Amino acid sequence: MRAIALLRTALIGLLLVTPSVFAGTVLVWGDSLSAGYGLRPHQAWPALLEKRIADAKLPHKVVNASISGETTAGGRARLPAALQLHHPSLVIIELGANDGLRGLPVPAMNDNLQAMIDASREAGAKVLLVGMRMPPNYGPDYTRRFEKTYRDLARANKLRLVPFMMEGFADKRSYFQADGIHPIADAQPLILDSIWRELKPLLR
């Protein structure tokens, strides 16, 4: 009887603890800037985010489903399956850089981002939007419209926005790999700090 009582107590303890352990999943939905291109997996900012969440004793896990080379069209097509698989409580959308680098139409990027915002919310997830900027050689009109898209989407959808994930080091060549596009390991904590400022309130 004593063994049964102990087993019952243990099961009750699991029921009480498990919901807090698995209270939510943060889905990072991005391109090579989040996939950790050129880095070891533990160096990329999503891995650093998982550690920061654990250190803060917040009941969330991180799933990084980012893919190098991803565009907003590709992310839009893949997202429904990922939402079904991971059931995230929060989706960090970090896409658009490859649209810009390829000079793809800004209205199409806007529509794809909006569709991902809608799909995430319909699945019951909060959304954090991460913005990007294009180099000036893409022309003032394109770069202005590109950057403005993120601000307009955040305003229209009442989202928290990270205006530029490379804030504070984008003009420092030493923070980038040989290609001049992908940040090195030393830049990843800086990216995380920019994202954390907007993400932390959503986690609580």
Q: What is the DSSP letter of 173?
A: G
Closest to 112 (Cα-Cα) out of 99, 125, 122: 99
Token look-up 């990270």 returns 162
Q: Verify whether residue 182 is a known catalytic residue.
A: yes
Angstrom distances, CA of residue 6 to CA of 13, 41, 129: 11, 41, 47
Annotated catalytic residue within 68, 86, 111, 182:
182
87-122 burial, b at 16+ Cβ within 10 Å, e below that, comes to ebbbbbbbbbbbbbeeebebeebbebbbbbbebbee
Annotated catalytic residue within 32, 34, 66, 194:
32
Residues belonging to the active site:
32, 179, 182
